A and B are shown apart, each in its own frame.
Chain A
């Protein structure tokens, strides 16, 4: 008799139709989908339920439960990670022998594995952002007190974020959560591990003939270290200023905002001399724009996408107020923008091109394209014109990014 214990969070399938009495490696099931994935010490399989894909990782009960808890805690702290869905425990095979536990996570829609980004070369414009995205993810984890312990290309997924990339942690097996930002020693160790693992991943692609010839793995990992150090310094360093040097404070805040961080608090301390001030920005969770857009429209999008969409709402509101001569509230402006602008435009994308980009990214590209056309034609271009051009001249040449399937080998 098949026995197992399955604890999952609400809003997901029950996974009861899967053959839990077999080791994952032996599964041959209609729900399996061959997703592209990296190197793992564990057996990892992917299953699809309607348009949702879930990753199943076979491991020990202790590790599965520990990782589940770590992912939940990091999610509560607003870190970019995959969603932990559940743990399957106490599995047995047909004759009652114990099988490993399985951790279930939700695969990120529209995510791009590194093999796709480095090898297939579908989006060369994204490559410079890969290193930045990885460095940013590490900085965010370290600021939040999370020591990763196994940062590697295989343990990260990337999503488009308004022309850039956002990196997500997908494997938290070795994560340790500390109550305060990591100290220098642990950070240095985590980065050393990351550099070695990323180099290994890239050299492996190279050995398999899967890495573009113009990329140097060792150069890329040197960049990762450099970008991490620069970003950490920008976010955490202490500046000493003259008391009248206010513009430097403003510069600093602006740079932090540009990096996608909000500043919760400025610690301005008079030093012994009394003539100098010390500032120490306290960096808080990124995501102000995402939260604001979600509050106003219900859309859940990436930070840079949200910033762009909020800008468009603001422009729409100003235009509307100009026409009517009356003030429009935040809520009304956002609701009208959704109904009159966003939803109609997204709906006009032909069905066969819908999977090319997720809707907010599509909208972001539409805004970019509209600006580009306006510059080229020397006049204002309407959304409808821009969409028609995007649909005919750009989207057909983009590959489908809803789910990146494994290369048939």
Chain B
């Protein structure tokens, strides 16, 4: 096992395309770190530089204490876990797991030991001497994992390993991989475009966009404390609602969103002192869908200073909750988010769509104006120019 460190790593291709910019990343020994971002964000390139499949244009890559910029991939002691393993029908599970060791000239005894250890971890011991045709889909995937495990690498690299599985098997394998990584304790770098996969699997998640690392933190911290609008809107489903607001700190502090006025308590200003610099200025306000509740279920404790009114356009009952989509009379921000620049945001008067996750007892109805109580303490604020979070 080993830590992996990327220190100001850059990748510039011969045609001048700068795929990865000054990437700093410390993957701790035994950690499961997920690199997540949309297609073309540089995450696979970063993983490939760790693997040695792409050269590093500048910066330093260390595996353990060793600088490996110029070390051949085979000598980096890493193992790729593929999405495309096929199992060989005439070979037993034992041979399917162990044959690659034969290629590497391992002794019979060593092969037996490693295969049996992998089988124990993968709960395949009872199945070692049967053929793959008798295995379930999940068991087949575990046998495929076994092929990587028996190599006992210092680092596992996984590039979208679940992308071609059906939805059910994907969920099952997410849990299997997480469980296995926990048991093995092998440092793992996992690349995906799927933020749910990232949030459910990683000890920490690194969000990338356009070749730049946006933020790296635990899944919960990314969700609760996004550093910028990109991370705020990339992480979370349904995504964070955004609206333009104006801070007025004269007299009773309040935030104006369209025609609405939300009172800003002193507590909020003391935990986000950076907001004071925005007095009288525009800010981008972020509201997670669960920061809104039907006022008939959870009345506004201030009697109206924490309420937004919006026309309900769609109501989706999911049993455990109701997701309501409503039109709020407010301006959307004209800034780039993980979904690009919101349509209509330039017009200013089109209103914005507000998505709320409500208690199933909610009485909101399509075509009716509903009152939503806002959990003020969970609001997010961003600078409309820099798109950075406003905190300190």
Contacts and interface: CB of A to CB of B under 8 A. Distances in A.
Interface stretch (A75-83, A88-96, A202-210, A381-389): A202-210
A185 interface: yes
A195 B74 CA distance: 13
B89 interface: yes
B90 A218 contact: no
Nearest to B54: A185
A221 interface: yes
A189 B53 contact: yes
Contact of B84 (A174, A185, A195, A210): A174
Given A180-B14, A196-B103, A218-B102, A189 B88 contact: no
Contacts of B72: 188
Interface stretch (A26-34, A149-157, A317-325): A149-157
Interface string A346-385: 0000000000000000000000000000000000000000
B84 A203 contact: no
Q: Indicate the member of B51, B73, B99 with the most A CB atoms within 10 Å.
A: B99
Contacts of B88: 39, 200-201, 203-204, 207
A59 B83 CA distance: 14
Contacts of B85: 41
Contacts of B89: 39, 204, 208
B100 interface: yes
Contacts of A195: 103
Contacts of B53: 183, 185-186, 188-189
A196 B102 CA distance: 10
A339 B151 CA distance: 62
Q: Indicate the member of A152, A180, A196 with the most B CB atoms within 10 Å.
A: A196
Contacts of A183: 53-55
B86 interface: yes
Contact of A221 (B73, B96, B103, B164): B103
A10 interface: no
A39 B99 contact: no
A150 B90 CA distance: 20
B373 to A, nearest CB: 40
A199 interface: yes
Contact of A41 (B15, B54, B80, B86): B86
Given A189-B51, A200-B99, A203-B99, A63 B90 contact: no
Contact of B95 (A152, A180, A207): A207
B48 interface: yes
Interface residues of B, number: 29
Contact of A207 (B80, B91, B164): B91
Contacts of B51: 185, 189
A192 interface: yes
A183 B14 CA distance: 11
B74 A199 contact: no
B99 A199 contact: yes
B323 interface: no
A124 interface: no
Given A185-B53, A196-B100, A149 B84 contact: yes
Contacts of A180: 14-15
B73 A185 contact: yes
A197 B103 CA distance: 11
Nearest to B49: A185
A195 to B, nearest CB: 7
Nearest to A179: B15
Contacts of A60: 164
Interface in A87-146: none
Interface string B61-105: 000000000001110000010101111111110011001101100
Given A180-B14, A196-B103, A207-B95, A185 B48 contact: yes
A196 B96 CA distance: 11
B138 to A, nearest CB: 14
B99 A188 contact: no
A13 B23 CA distance: 52
Interface string A189-233: 100110111011101110110100000001001000000000000
Nearest to A171: B84
B242 to A, nearest CB: 29
A161 interface: no
B146 interface: no
A195 B102 CA distance: 12
A173 interface: yes
Contact of A186 (B54, B82, B102): B54
A271 interface: no
A185 B89 CA distance: 31
A156 B15 CA distance: 32
Contacts of A173: 84, 164
Given A174-B84, A193-B82, A199-B99, 7 more contacts: A41-B164, A149-B84, A183-B55, A185-B73, A199-B100, A199-B102, A207-B88
7 contacts: A41-B86, A60-B164, A185-B54, A199-B103, A205-B90, A207-B88, A208-B89
